[in-house]
Every structure is written in structure tokens, then in C-alpha cells.
Structure 1
Amino acid sequence: MKIAGYQGSVNLGAGGGATVKVSSDLNAYGSGGKGLAAIAGAANKWAVAVEAQQEDEDKQSILNAMDIFNKSRYNIMYNDESGLMNTKLEGTAGAGASYTEQINKARQDVLSNTKLHSQKNQLALDHLMYQSAQQGFQTVDQYEQKQKEAVTDLRYDNNIQNSCEFVQKNWNNPQALQDEIIRTQLLTSAIYGKRGAEFIESKSRANIGQVVASAVGASITNEDYGTMRNIMDKYGSYLTANQRAAFEKVAYDKESSAFERNTAKDLYAKYGDNEEAVRKELEGMKGFSGSESGNDFENLLTSFGIQESGGNYNAKNGRTGASGKYQILPSNWPSWSQEAGLPAGAEMTPENQEKVARFKLKQYYDKYGAAGAAVAWYSGETNAQRWVSGKTTDVWGNTWDTPQHGNEPSIKEYAESVTNRAGSVRSTRSMSQDEQDRIIKQYRTIKADHDRIETYKKNKLFEGIKSELFSMFNNGTSYSDAMAWATNQAGSDPDKYVTYRNAVTAIYGPQGRSGSSGGGNGKLDDDAIGVLEDMLQEGKFSSIDQFLAYAANKGASSAQRGKLEKIYNDWYSGTGEFAFDMEGLVQQVAGKNADALYKKKIQNYGRQWVRAYRVKNHGMNPGETELLEALRNCVTTKVYGSYVTEKHSFWFDSTEDIKASDADLIARGIASVNKTGDDWYDVKWLDGTSGKINGAYLAKLLKGDY
């Protein structure tokens, strides 16, 4: 049958969307089943289109769902307040379990709130969230493990720190150090046992090194260099090469400084203020050599064994009771053996004799050198100290070559015998000039400290008697009676005698003429007061009573002595016009190596400038920057004019400039210079007077020709 009027019933459309045209005439679709086939094809295309659209919707939903899930995962891990990755140390315990619980809840929430069209996409979303969750879990789990390790490391480090502090407090106890080393080994094995033998060995050595370094450092701090080197000898393998070298250098520097300091003390005690005698003795002294190296000590140890007993471990001295190869006294063995690390009551076996002798002799050797160690072993450590410091006698007042106990070798003979046999004589080099200079500097410091103490004592004594003397003066007690009282108060103490009599002169004036100079005008001029201040700063007076008595003898009035007392107190306390480190400021201006007279000139200017500033500013001090600027300016040469050196003709004369710096003017007692005529200058002097002088005279004055 012919199908008439057929039109395509399915329009696929440009976008792939299928539409079906509906007709009321069934025959329009053809006969013989063709129409139904056409309908089925159209429906299939429609279903495909619907499925594609649903797939697109699911994909977008999955993307949104994963965005929500990943944000939840981030908050679980990194939230500022509760994020698991923000916890530390013990706080991370259980982080993995907490993460699993929270992430599973987040996963279920997302699944329940996400509607998908197919089971396949449902499973795909679940799988994606699972993978994301697993990544987060691995990160949290690794972090938790690292924090657990950090907790373990922290506890371990705290134990090591405790061990270090313990050996620092017990640096001179060999057993304490040995115990802490064993403890460190056991602790490392117990805490890190699962990491393998190689790790444990490396970790143990590194941290035992810390403990040993702490003990060595404490020994150096406490100036126990014998113990320091004993520790280095026994446990030095735990230290790095750099550590060993650094410790040796620090010890050497400190020993050298101690040697120089002690030498300076001994020389001051011997010669007092006589620096010339100190320098003379230093010229013949031997320098500090530090610790010997190589086989010197081993040779020395062997020499001791031969010297004392011929190498016989069973030898015994009938007179002293000393026993063994090294002839150790019974009174020394108990303490020496324990110092060497042996248990209490250890017997004098050959092995123990070697340990104890080696330990003790090494201590002496490190402190005093080969010869000094021999002196210590033979006659005691105090004699060794005297030997190395250059004393000429032993503790009993005998010279070093005096025979011992009648017919036994002298200390000098014994030391020479031991060291000559060993071939290891220490400290034989002459002292260098630098070493001598450092010792002189130490000597001067000690002297200055002593002088300060003496000055303080004298000043306190003056303060204690000043009020009583003023009371005597005001009550009419005569000068002679006051002097008699002072003499009686001082008794047999010569220092007090001088202080008391100076105090009377300071209050009463010379010969009792208080307020009078004995020379006419009854007071000192300002220039003289300035000279007294300069003398004070130069250290010419050892105490306030000496200063005031000197001023009184020079004519200072009672009022001026009161002013000078305040000046002295300012100088002593470093206040007022003496508040500045004038020497340091001058060195900044002139340089370290400048001529001493040049620096002195600047310093004098600085003092005068500060005094003038304080007068102008009602007792206020200038700022240090302002003073430094004035010192820099004071050395600038200025031209004040010229003078005729030779007349040649009416039209021509030879002239020369009059040049000077402000410091030059002050050095010549001049406050200012102003030209007033062709060859005349108005000069104002520091004492307040003024006058006119001609150019030639001024030029010669400034050059120092007058």
C-alpha cells in the first residue's frame, strides 16, 4: 500500500535534541511495521539525549560535592583553633583517629546531601572522597608520627641537658662523669632501640660528646686545667677535632693570663710601687709555655719511675713509708686513687700505681710543666707554685739548691735529674716583651686597685674627724692643741698620723692661719685653683686630707678649701666637671699614637673649656658631643695677625704670621687674643688679667721661647 502524504516525524535538531511529530493518521507512518520502527528510533534518540543531560548534571553535582568535602577536610586539618596539623608534641596524640572520625562524618554528610541520577555516579563520588580522605589521613598520620618523635627527642634532649648540668657542677668528680656517660649510652639504647645499632652508636657518641664538653668547659671555667686535660685524655675521642683544638686554645689563653696575673700579684707584693724593680726582675724571668705535646709526658713519667725506685713496684722507703714504683706516700694514696677513678680502698697493684701516678703527675705537668711537676712530686705543690712564679726560695725559706733532709738531693737537683733524663724541660724560653708589657699592665691595675682602697680608707677617716675638727676650731681650740690632739688620736700608725695632721691643716690653715695664705692676699687666684684641679686629675694626691692640706699651704682661704673639698669629691666620684673620660675623648681627636705632649695640650684645653662652660651655664655640664666638637676645633690653627721680622726699606719689610690653635693659647695661659693695631695685640690671660703686647713678643710666647 502506498503511503501518501508522509513527512519526517522526527526532527533531531541542530543541538542533538530529538522531537517527534505526532499525526492522527496512523497510515502516515507507513505500513508493514516501518512506522513503528521509526517511532522506536526516535524514542531511543530521545533517551540518549536525556541520559547525556543527566550525566552533565551529575558531573556538576560531583564537583560541588567534592568542593564541600575538601573544604571540610582542610578545616579538620588546618583550622586555626582546632586543626589537627596545628597541634604540637603531646597534643597530637590520637590525631589519626580523630581525623578518621571527623572525615567519615563529613563524607556521610556530603553523600546524604548530594542527589545523583545514577548509582554509578554515586559510587564515583564516594570513591573520590575516599581518595581525598586517604591523602589527608596519610598527611595527619605522618605529622602525628613526627610529633611523637619530637616528643621522644625532647625528652631525650632534656635528659642529656640534665647530664650536662650535673657534670658541670661535678667537673672534678671522675666517677660522676663516667656514670653520666654510661647513663647516656643506656638512655640512647632504650629510647631509640628500634632504629638500629648504627643509629644508636652515632646518637650516643654525639651526646656523650656534649656531656664531656660540659665537663671540660666547667673545668676551664674553674681554672682546673689538670682535670680538664685528664678528661680530654680519657674521653677526648668523643669530641670533634675542632672542639679539642678550641678547648686547648681557651685553656692555654686562660693559663697564660693566670700566669701573668699571678706573676703581677707576686711582684707587687714583693716590690710595691717600685715599677723599675718589677721591670728589672721581669727581664730575667722565663715565659709561660703552656702544655707540652708529643711524647714529653710519657718520657717524663718513665723518668719519675726510674728516679724514685728504679722501676720497682714493690719498693718502700723506710723513712717516709712511701711505696711502689713512684714512691707514693700512704697519706696520699686514698685521695689520689679515687681522684684517678679507682674505688675506695683500691690496692697498690702495679696497674693501679700506673693509673694514679699518671693521673696526678699529668695534673702537675699541665699546671707547672716538667720541672714544676718534679718539684711538686718531690716537695709539694706549694713549692711548685713558687718555682714557676720565679721565687728564689722554697716554703721553708731555703734556696732551691739546699740539700733535703741532710743528704738527700736538693729540690733543684731532683727536678734537673728527672727532666734531664726525660729530655723534657719546660718553660726555658725567655719572656717576650709583649708578655712583660702585659704583666706590667696587670701590675699597674693591681697597684691602682690598692691605691683606690687606701684612698677610700683615708677619705673615710678624714670625713670621720672633719666635723670634730670644725667644732674644735669654732670653739677656739688652738692650732697647736688641735695638732696635739691629732697626734694622740693617730697613735703609732704612721698613715693615720699623716691623715690627722693634714686634716688639721685643711681646717685651720698652715700654722693655724685659717683664711690666710700667709703671703698677703688671703686666697688663691682662679689660675692657681685650676692648677690644683689639674694636679688632682694627674693623681698627685693620695687622699682628700693631703689635697686640702696642700691647698692650705699654698694659700687657699677657708672658703676656697670648702670649694676645693667639693671639687675633690666630684673628682673622686666622677661627677661635675670630672664626669667625662677626657683621656678617651682626646684619643678620639688626636689618635692612639699621637705625641704625649700634643695629647696633654688638648686635655688641658678640654678641662679649661669645661670649667668655663660650667661657669657660664650655672654649674651645668656640656653634652659629650659638644665637648668632643670643642676638642676637635681646639687644634685648628688660626692666624691672629703678623709681625715684622726684618725691616728692609721704607716700602718693604719681612713679616711672619702669628699662628696658634686654641689649645696652644691655653697651654701658654692665654684665654684670648685680639689685634688692636699694626703690631699690637690685646691679650686676656686665664687668671683674668689682660694687657697689650707687641706681635714679636706674642709670637715668641706662643712658640714657647719665653
Structure 2
Amino acid sequence: MADPGFEAFLWSLTQQESGGNYSAVGPPTPYGRAYGRYQVLAPNVGPWTAKYYGKRLTPQQFLNNKAAQDAVVRGVLGGYYKKYGARGAAAMWYSGQSNPNKTYGNPPVYKYVNSVMARAGSYSGQSTGGGGYTSGGPVKVALDKDELAEQYGLSSALINSSKELKSLFNQAVSGGWSAAKFQAKLKNSKWWKTQSSSLRKYITTKFTDPATHKQKWAQAQYKVNQLAVAVGLGSQIKSGKSSKLLKSAIYNSLALGWSDERIKDWLGTKATLHDGIMWGEAGEAFDKFHELAYLNGMKYSQDWYKKNAVAVVSGKTTLETEEAKIRAQAAARYGAYKDQILAGQNVMDLAAPYIKSLSTLLELPETDVDLFDKHVAKAMTSKPASGTAAGTQMPLWEFENAVRADPLWRKTNNARESMMSVARQVAKDFGLAY
């Protein structure tokens, strides 16, 4: 028997589930209630509306939004239809697997599928209808493992960290356990008995006092997001939703009992560049390193600045430690000034006589001359003449002669005046001056 068209199939399924009623609400189940014309289970409403409607809705919002219901079912069920055909799609919607001949369920999967297929043949373009054979309850749609983990008060990373916990979780997923059943099994496990009191309290509160759990989560969300902003990550809340990073940090705080300092250090490891700059405390360290390196004639890669800024905000090092390293490298480069540099003086200040002289000779603003100018760099790094006192380099007169040999100097007013002065003196010496 050929598959019915998708519209006929979709219409038939709506009759099967709700009689075409957008306001239908299913009875309580281990998976929560099912909502709307297509009977979408509560745990799936949030992620599916976010993906297919572009906005994450609550079950009640979903129930009141026909457009969202249609968008979700066309996205999810449309994908099933393309992949498995009509019979496989009906089986997936009802049981979470695509074999239409399975005999479990009430009614059995195959009877549900046959009923949908039989009714599809009577489709004549109508959008609603009534009556017919129904499933007797909401559709059991396969849930995303991350969503289930969150329902159970765990994180995927935590589940995967223990073979016993992972095995228990997989049993819960395949067996369709309720949260209460999972909690009961969890508390009898060896894993549970070896965990911290903070994790046990977190899981218990999530199950037994969801209102308190929600309140604590909201408080932690605000506090941890402030820490994220402080270290330079920017706000991790977009359109009212927490990023995956923020959710992980909140979980580490509430469930694992991490201190604010540890959370901040952990968030600091995630700091990165934003269009060539860094934000928050990472940005302060990033800028400080740039400034100190420049004032001491040192150059590093952008990755070096980022790596060390991250190391500072993640608690692996301090500004003072990294500044000392920059000064040590500068002292090695500008050996004649080693003691002054290590004592805290910047090389730029030590080079001030050369910078001022070059600025005057080449008629440049002093702010345009730095340690990377070839004349200044040579003067500051040249070896002192034999017998010269420590802390001195090239004599200033020698430096100025080198600058005057630069073709740039010949284009200055200084050069022209100097040459005119020499010419007048020569003329005077020959008795030609007047």
C-alpha cells in the first residue's frame, strides 16, 4: 500500500491524537502531560519550539499558540515522514521507534499505525475532523538524553564519569522510567552513597521541592552570570536563556558545591578574544601586558597575550608574576640597564634622551618615536665601549651623528639650516661673507 501524502497523513494523525483539537491536554504520565492538537509531551515542548518555532515556549504557551504547534509538528513529524515513510513516522510519534509492527503498548503500536493509515485514505483536504480510534493517552515520543539528564537532576558529563551511573541512566532511558523511579534506583546505588552532600541535596531538592530548586537556580544564574561578565566572557544570558557554559557553571555551583572563586577561575579558562580585544578582568590583564611590553621594547604574539590573560583570570598565575617575566626578558635585551629595569623602571623612560634628540633632529613629535625605531633600538642595545660605566650605552653625540646620516634628516629644516650655517662659515673663512 502506497504511503498517503504528508497532508493526509498529518490530518489523520491529528484525528488520532486529539480529534484536531488545539486545546487538548492529555492525562498525567511518567513523561508529563501531552499538549495540543498533536499531543506533544511537556519535556519536548521547550527544545522543539526553540528549534522549529524560533522561540522556546512553556507547555501552556504552546497550548495557546496554534502556529507554534503546527511549526513543531511539521518540523519533527515531517522529518520522520521523510526518513521512515508514513508508517514508520506514525510508529516514531507513538512509541519513539520506527518499526510499525511492534506489539507492545496500549493500544499496540501496530494497531495505532494501522488506524492512522486507514483514516488517511478518507482525507479530502479538510483541516479538522472528529472521532475515530485514539491511542488512549499521549504519544510516547523519544526524549533527548540531555533533556532527560536535566530532568533527573544530572549533567551528561557527570553521567559519563561513572560506569554505574551511565548504566543506570541508560536503563532509565530505554525503560522509560519516571523521575521518581530513577531517583529511587539512584539512591540504592553505590555511586550515590559515595557522592558529596551537596550533590545529593541538589538532586533531592530537584525531585521533592521543585519550587525551591527553581528559586535557587535563578539566584545562582544571576550570580554566576555576573562572574562570567567579570572575567571577560560577557553576559551568558541571551533572550532570557542561559548559555550551555552558564548552565554548566550553575550546575557546578549548586550540585558540586564549587565556591565562587573556583567558579570564577573555571570561567576564566573560557575567556577569549572579541574582535581582537578581551573584556572584563581578562581584558585588564590583556591591556596591561600590551602596555608593559610596549614600554619595555618587547613584542609578543596575540596568542601570547590571550593565553597569559586567561591564565591570570583563571588563577593559574598573577599579573605580578607575568610582569616580572616581561621585565626579565627586557633586562636581558637591554643589558646595560638591567638593574634599573628589574627595579621597576621602564625602558622607554631610560631611552628618553635618545627619543628626545631624535624627535628634535627629525622634527617628529616625541609620541611618534618609540623603542622600535631603528636608531633608538641600536643605541639601547649596543654594547658599551670598554671602560664605560655600567648603565650607559651609546654617547648622545654619537647617536646624533648617526641620526644625521639618515636620509630623512637631510629633508628637515634642521638639515637645511645646518648646511647654510656651514656654507656661511666657509664663505667667512674665505673672506666672502658680508
Q: TM-score, normalised by structure 2?
A: 0.25
Q: TM-score, normalised by structure 1?
A: 0.18
Between Structure 1 and Structure 2, the one with more helix by share is 1
Structure with more contact order per residue of length (Cα contacts < 8 Å, sep ≥ 6): 2
